[in-house]
Structure formats: structure tokens, C-alpha cells
Amino acid sequence: MRPVEVDVPAILRDGIGRSAGGAAWIDQLPELVDRAVERWGLELGEPFRTGYASWCAPSTALGGRDAVLKIVFPHDEARHEAHALRAWDGRGAVRLLDDAPEDWALLLERVRPGTPMTAWDATAAERLAAGADVHRDLCGPQADRRSFAPDDLQAALPSVLEVCRGWADLLADRASRAAVEGDLDLDPGLLALAVTSLRDLPTSAERDVVLHGDFNPGNLLSATDGRWVVIDPKPMHGDPTYDLWPLLSQVDDPFRRAGSADVLRPRLALLADRTGLDAQRIAAWSVARACEQALWTWAELGDLALANRELRGAAVWASLVG
């Protein structure tokens, strides 16, 4: 039987669909979706129009259960998504109902209403508090990686230590090249602090937990019972404070006005209080990750204005360390 036609959202065709690998994957989607429908007895709705690296559609599974079918474009960051969701088992994260690793297919619970935190009409402090509570569910004392069942550990999640060691070397190399080219507003002391932090923070962590890896407000959805849950993990394991910079920097734009340090200082305190983590480590990770992001923007996007804005933000974070 010929596979049914699959509606492919523009965000996929115009994104990964422009690469050879992405175009080939899109060509395979009808077969992948057909297999998932047959495997789980699904009735599918129209696909969601968001998501640049996966095809997702609401569905009804056997027994009438509300679900979402997610077919992921194969890439390393998403390789262990199912393992992380299985380890969390609905605690702070969308629940995994089943998966088919050979097809990069996941059957997930449907989160309703599913409003992303970015669309929530709330203050930055309210968003931070809600996000902090989810982070505590994911990474609190009960979430030590060693407490998970052996099957979960066999995912062999990448470690923050290994990832950041590579980032530190790359950041140092990019900073050297940028200094020669002279088109960035570089502060050598700031970049040295970032490189040192990327190397030292992972080794000084007191705990080792399964991390989301992309803990930003767009990946936090509202659930019917008043909870918030995360979706789309890019999991690693390591220091729980690593994950908090995207939340802090994206609940709104803290750098859009003068006095950014005065805006961020109470937010750091709130986040530290709600998560039980150290405010200084959160700030130090923010310096490191903001600098890494800025030099990536310069090297990969060639966007000098944005890279310089990101470096100015990193300098504000640095003023909150120590």
C-alpha cells in the first residue's frame, strides 16, 4: 500500500528541508508516519506548525487516549530524548507513552492547554518562579542520575564536562581569531573568565543529574492541572545549575533597559531560593554560556551587532559574579 500524503509544515521545508539530509528525511516522512499509525493504532490530526527539527501531530491512540506523535529528524542532540523522558516519568516533563528508536518516533502525552510560557500573560518573576519549580522537579535532590534505573543509564548521555571542555577550546580559538579580525568589542578578561568557567564549573559540581539541555520558556507548556512541563529535551548529565541561563535570559529581555544588573540580581536570588541552587554558580554559568553564544553568533551567523549585544549581556552577568 502506498503511504498517505503527509502535510509538511513550512518551518520544516524551509529549514532542515534545504539540506540534503533533511530533504531525504522529509521524503521518508509518509512511510515513517504510516508505520507509527499502524504500530500504535493512531488517528492523526493536522500537524503542529511549530518545531524546526521534528514533525508533530495530535493523535488519538488505541483506547481513546489523547497523545502526540513526534517524528524527529535524526540528530545527535535529540538522540537521548526518549531516555530522559522515561527517566523523568512525567515529573516536570511531558510523559513518554512509547517510542520506536529505529524510526526516531515518540508517542507522547498530549499537554493541554499546552500554552508555551512565552505566551503566558505574567510577570518575569512569575515566569521564573514557575520555571524554577519545574527545574526543581527535574533536577532536585530526588533526581540524582545515580538514582535512575540501569536501563536509563544505558542511554550514555553526553556529559556537561565533555561538552563544555570542547566549548572552552572553541571559544578560546574563536576569541583569538576575532581579536585578529578586530570587528568585535572584545574584553579579554571577560572571555578568559568564560573559558575558565567552562572548564572549571563542571568539575566542581556537587551533584550529577539528568539535564534538559534547552531549558528555555518556549519549551515550557501549561498543563490542565496548573502544572508546567518541559518538552523537547536535548539531554545531558551534570551540574544542575547549567540549565538555568536560557530561562533567566528569555523570560523577557533583561538587557533592554539601563540598570540590567539591578534587574537580574533579584531574579538570581529568586531562582536560587526556589531551586536551592547557588546564585553565584548560576551567574557564572550565565557568563560562560552567554560568551559561548556570542562567539558562535559571530563565527556561524556573521551577525556582528547581535554578537556585540550578547557580549554586553555577558559583561552584565560577570558583574554579578563574586
Q: Give the residue numbers marked as catalytic.
A: 214
φ, ψ for residue 52, nearest 5 deg: -90, -10
CA dihedral 282, 192, 213, 255 (to 10 degrees): 60
The answer to whether 245 and 203 are in contact (CB under 8 A) is no
Smallest CA-to-CA distance from 173 within 289, 284, 299, 290 is with 299
Could you write out the DSSP letters of every residue in 258-306?
Answer: S-HHHHHHHHHHHHHHHHT--HHHHHHHHHHHHHHHHHHIIIII--HHH
Q: Which three cell numbers stand for residue 304?
A: 556582528
The alpha-carbon radius of gyration of the chain (Å, integer) is 20
Q: 56 by DSSP, 3-state: which?
A: strand
Contacts of 39 (CB under 8 A, 6+ apart): 100, 105
d(CA 156, CA 80): 8
Q: Which three cell numbers stand for residue 243?
A: 540549565
| 113 prior amide bond cis, ω within 30 | yes
Smallest CA-to-CA distance from 115 within 218, 234, 44 is with 218
φ, ψ for residue 183, nearest 5 deg: -105, 5
Q: Which three cell numbers stand for residue 29?
A: 516522512
d(CA 314, CA 181): 21
